[in-house]
Amino acid sequence: MKFTLFARMTAEFVGTAFLLMAVVGSGIMGERLSGGNLAIALLANTLATGAALVALILTFGPVSGAHFNPAVSLADASRRGMPWRETPAYIIAQLLGAYTGVMSAHAMFSLPLVSASRHNRSGTAQWFSEFIATFGLLSVIWGCSRLRTSVVPFAVGAYITAAYWFTASTSFANPAVTLARAASDTFSGIRPADAPGFIAAQLIGAAAATALFSWLVPSLPAVARDVLVPHASESS
């Protein structure tokens, strides 16, 4: 089925908004209920984010590819999975969705709609964590979209569930998510000044994984096109 660019942007907008609601909202709820035990708060945050990703990619994947992530859209375009001229529209929709999601989460929990985070997340170890997190995420996407397209939602949900715990940065792995979380002075926030370092590390990680899989599975883009961007036949 073919979807207009506006329909696909709508899917990216709504899906990214729900992703941010899941990340930020469950962080607030987890912190409020856990009585100071950060591990329990992060368990709740992890469970909600991983499960939300499964549901959202299943829901919006057939429409827009369910990128919800500028790093994924850029990687996809670099392999000709989607045309470069559509990439800015995807990224704009993702950013608008991300901020809408953060504000909606704040509204649900009776907080100010926007508040600059004071959560310090910087330094080499954090940047290396984001490099690893995004390298892994793109590896999972490229590896699974080759032969087993129907498992992408489960693979991505499972990966992020794990990466929340095995990276020191709790695996943002997404520039739109990073920018929007800078506007939330809650459990899952990040200081605005720390966002550029995270985003740079994410983009380098995404590029590295894309390069690895371009070599490992050369025929990848043609197959991935059907998976990540089911509308590709429309624009080619």
Enumerate residues 135-164 that contact a second copy by CB under 8 A: 136, 139-140, 143-144, 146-148, 150-151, 153-159, 161-162, 164
Window 17 to 46, contacts with a second copy (CB under 8 A) = 18, 21-22, 24-26, 29-30, 33-35, 37-46
Size of the site for a second copy (CB under 8 A): 81
In the list 12, 50, 70, 121, the residue contacting a second copy (rule: CB under 8 A) is: 50
Burial 182-221 (b: 16+ CB within 10 A, else e): bbbbbbbbbbeebbebbbebbbbbbbbbbeebeeebeebb
Residue 166: left if φ>0, alpha if ψ -120 to 50, beta else—which one?
alpha
**CB of 84 or CB of 97, closer to a second copy:** 97
Window 56 to 95, contacts with a second copy (CB under 8 A) = 56, 58-60, 62-63
Window 194 to 223, contacts with a second copy (CB under 8 A) = 212, 216-217, 219
With CA atoms as reference, report the closest residue to 128 among 63, 184, 79, 200. Answer: 200
Quick check: helix, strand or coil at residue 115? Answer: coil
Interface characters, 101-120, with a second copy (x: CB under 8 A): ---xx-xxxx----------
